[in-house]
Chains A and B, each alone.
Chain A
Amino acid sequence: TQLLEQSPQFLSIQEGENLTVYCNSSSVFSSLQWYRQEPGEGPVLLVTVVTGGEVKKLKRLTFQFGDARKDSSLHITAAQPGDTGLYLCAGNFFLSGSARQLTFGSGTQLTVLP
Chain B
Amino acid sequence: GAVVSQHPSWVICKSGTSVKIECRSLDFQATTMFWYRQFPKQSLMLMATSNEGSKATYEQGVEKDKFLINHASLTLSTLTVTSAHPEDSSFYICSARTLSNTDTQYFGPGTRLTVL
Contact = CB atoms under 8 A, between A and B. Distances in A.
A43 B107 contact: yes
Contacts of B45: 104
Dominant secondary structure of chain B at its interface with chain A: strand
B43 A104 contact: yes
Interface in B44-87: 44-46, 49
A112 interface: no
B104 A48 contact: yes
Nearest to B38: A37
A109 B43 CA distance: 10
Contacts of B108: 42
Contacts of A51: none
A88 B6 CA distance: 21
Contacts of B46: 101-104
A42 B93 contact: yes
A106 B42 CA distance: 7
9 contacts: A30-B103, A41-B110, A42-B108, A45-B107, A48-B104, A88-B44, A92-B103, A106-B43, A107-B41
Interface of B: 4, 6, 34, 41-46, 49, 91, 93, 95, 97, 102-110, 112
